[in-house]
Structure 1
Amino acid sequence: MVEIAPCGTWSSPVGAADAAAAGGGVQWVDLHRGRPWWAEGRPDEGGRVALVRDGQDLLPPPWNARNRVHEYGGRPWAVLETPDGTRVAFTHWDDQRIYLFDPDDPRPVPITPEPGRRHGLRYADLVAGPGGREVWCVRETATGDARTDVRRDLVAVPLDGGAPRVLAASHRFMTGPRPSPDGRHLAWIGWDHPRMPWDGTELCVAEVGVPGHRVLAGGPEEAVCQVEWDGADLLVLTDPDGWWNLHRVDLAGRSVNLAPGPWELGGPVWRLGNRWFAPLGRGRHAVLRANRLAVLDERSRTVTDVDTDLPVWHAHLAAHDGVVVGSAAGPLAETAVVSLDLSTGELTAHTAQDTGVPEAYLPVPVERVFTGPDGDVPAHVYPPRNPDFTHPDHERPPYLVHVHGGPTGRSLPVLDLDIAYFTSRGIGVVAVDYGGSTGYGRAFRERLRGQWGVVDVADCAAVARALADEGTADPARLAIRGGSAGGFTSAASLTSVDTYRCGMVAFPILDLAGWTGTGGETHDFESRYVEGLVGPWPQAADRYAERSPANRVDRLAGPVLLLQGLEDEICPPEQADRFAAALRGTGLPHAYLTFEGEQHGFRRAGTIIAALQAELSFYGQVFGFTPPGVPVLELRR
Structure 2
Amino acid sequence: MASTATYGSWPSPIDAALAAAHDGRPDFVGFVGDEVWWTAPRPAEGGRRALVRRHPDGVEESVLPAPWNVRSRVVEYGGQPWAGTVRADGSPLVVFCHHPDQRLYAYEPDAPDGAPPRPLTPLSPVGDGLRWVDPVLRPERDEVWCVLEEFTGPAPTDVRRVIAAVPLDGSAAEDRTRVRELSDGRHRFVTGPRVSPDGRQVAWIGWDHPRMPWDGTEVRLAGVTDDGAFTEARTVAGGPEESVPQIGWTADGHLLHVSDRTGWWNLYRTARDGGEPVALCPREEEFAGALWKIGLSWFQPLDSGLVAVVHGRGAATLGILDPESGDLADAVGPWTEWAATLAAHGTRVVGVAAGPHSGHEVVELDTCTGFARVIGAPHKDAVDPAYYPEPEARTFAGPGGREIHAQVYAPRNPEFTGPDDERPPYVIWAHGGPTGQAPLVLDLEIAYFTSRGIGVAEVNYGGSTGHGRAYRERLREQWGVVDVEDCAAVATALAAEGTADPARLAVRGGSAGGWTTAASLVHSDVYACGTILYPILDPAAWATDETHDFESRYMDSLMGPIAEVPERYRERSPLEHVDRITAPFVLLQGLDDVICPPAQAERFLARTAGRGVPHASLAFEGESHGFRRADTLIRALEAELSLYAQVFGLDRPDVPRLELRK
TM norm structure 1: 0.98
2:238 corresponds in structure 1 to 218
The alignment partner of 2:182 has SS state of strand
Deviations 1:131-176 (A, max 9, x none): 1511111111111111111111110111012311001022000013
1:198 corresponds in structure 2 to 214
Distance of 1:68 and 1:355 partners within structure 2:
33
**Contact 2:430–2:516 (Cα < 8 Å) also in 1:** yes
**Pair 1:553-2:553 in alignment:** no
Q: Offset of 1:341 from its aligned partner?
A: 1.9
Deviations 1:310-343 (A, max 9, x none): 2211111112232221111111111111212231
Bigger shift: residues 600-609 or 370-379 = 370-379
Map 1:229-268; keep pairs closer than 5 Å.
229-230=249-250, 231-254=252-275, 255-268=277-290
1:67 corresponds in structure 2 to 72
Deviations 1:533-589 (A, max 9, x none): 101121111101111110110111401110000000110101011111111100100
Map 1:505-524; keep pairs closer than 5 Å.
505-516=532-543, 519-524=544-549
Of 406, 414, 434 in structure 2, the residue corresponding to residue 407 of structure 1 is 434
2:300 corresponds in structure 1 to 278
**Pair 1:396-2:411 in alignment:** no
Query: Which stretches of structure 1, 4 residues or more, deviate above 6 A after TM superposition?
Result: none
Q: Offset of 1:126 from its aligned partner?
A: 1.1
**Contact 2:347–2:366 (Cα < 8 Å) also in 1:** yes
2:466 corresponds in structure 1 to 439
1:627 corresponds in structure 2 to 652
Distance of 1:243 and 1:557 partners within structure 2:
41
Q: Offset of 1:304 from its aligned partner?
A: 3.0
**Contact 2:331–2:365 (Cα < 8 Å) also in 1:** no
1:76 corresponds in structure 2 to 81
2:140 corresponds in structure 1 to 131
2:174 corresponds in structure 1 to none
**Contact 1:130–1:179 (Cα < 8 Å) also in 2:** no
User: What amino acid sits opposite 2:41 in the alignment?
Assistant: G
User: What amino acid sits opposite 1:124 in the alignment?
Assistant: V
User: What amino acid sits opposite 2:163 in the alignment?
Assistant: L
2:175 corresponds in structure 1 to none
**Contact 2:361–2:374 (Cα < 8 Å) also in 1:** no
Identity of aligned residues (%): 55
Q: Offset of 1:347 from its aligned partner?
A: 1.4
RMSD over aligned Cα, in angstroms? 1.4
Q: How many residues align?
A: 635
Distance of 1:210 and 1:504 partners within structure 2:
50
**Pair 1:180-2:196 in alignment:** yes
Unmatched segments (≥5 aa) in structure 1: none
**Contact 1:82–1:132 (Cα < 8 Å) also in 2:** no
Bigger shift: residues 322-331 or 207-216 = 207-216
Distance of 2:585 and 2:509 partners within structure 1:
12
2:354 corresponds in structure 1 to 329
2:10 corresponds in structure 1 to 10
The alignment partner of 1:317 has SS state of strand
Map 1:86-101; keep pairs closer than 5 Å.
86-101=92-107
**Contact 1:129–1:179 (Cα < 8 Å) also in 2:** no
Distance of 1:98 and 1:212 partners within structure 2:
29
Distance of 2:14 and 2:659 partners within structure 1:
23
Deviations 1:31-70 (A, max 9, x none): 2222210001100000011001101111001111112101
**Pair 1:530-2:555 in alignment:** yes
Distance of 2:398 and 2:129 partners within structure 1:
46
**Contact 1:83–1:132 (Cα < 8 Å) also in 2:** no
Distance of 2:230 and 2:445 partners within structure 1:
51
Q: Offset of 1:118 from its aligned partner?
A: 7.0
The alignment partner of 2:13 has SS state of coil
Bigger shift: residues 18-27 or 41-50 = 18-27
2:57 corresponds in structure 1 to none
Pair 1:334–1:573, CA change in 2 (3 A): same
Q: Offset of 1:301 from its aligned partner?
A: 1.3
**Pair 1:120-2:126 in alignment:** no
**Contact 2:331–2:372 (Cα < 8 Å) also in 1:** no
Distance of 2:230 and 2:634 partners within structure 1:
54
Of 543, 546, 550 in structure 1, the residue corresponding to residue 568 of structure 2 is 543
TM norm structure 2: 0.94
Distance of 1:453 and 1:118 partners within structure 2:
33
1:57 corresponds in structure 2 to 62
**Contact 2:105–2:117 (Cα < 8 Å) also in 1:** yes
User: What amino acid sits opposite 1:78 in the alignment?
Assistant: A
